[in-house]
Amino acid sequence: MPAGSESHPYYPLGVNIVGYAPNQSPVLELLALASGGCTLLLGLTFAVASHVRPALRMADRIAILWFVLSGTLHCFFEGYFMLNHKHMASAQDLFGQLWKEYALSDSRYMTSDTLVLCMETITVSPKED
Domain assignment of residue 8, yes or no: no
Asked whether the beta carbons of 32 and 94 are under 8 A apart, the reply is no
- Inside any domain, residue 116: yes
Looking at the predicted structure, is the pLDDT value of residue 1 above 80? Answer: no
The amino acid at 50: S
- 129 within a domain of the structure (yes/no): no
Region 70-91: mean pLDDT is 92
What total number of domains does the chain contain? Answer: 1
Range of the domain at 93: 27-124
Burial (Cβ within 10 Å: 0-12, 13-18, ≥19) of residue 85: buried
For residues 102 and 109, is the Cβ–Cβ distance under 8 A? yes
Q: What is the pLDDT of residue 12?
A: 81
Could you tell me if residue 54 is inside a domain? yes
Give the closest residue to 113 by CA, choosing from 103, 125, 123, 124. 103
Task: Look at residue 82 and tell me if it is in a domain.
Answer: yes
- 34, part of any domain: yes
- Higher per-residue confidence, 5 vs 26: 26
Residue 20 is assigned to a structural domain of this protein? no
55: pLDDT strictly greater than 90: yes
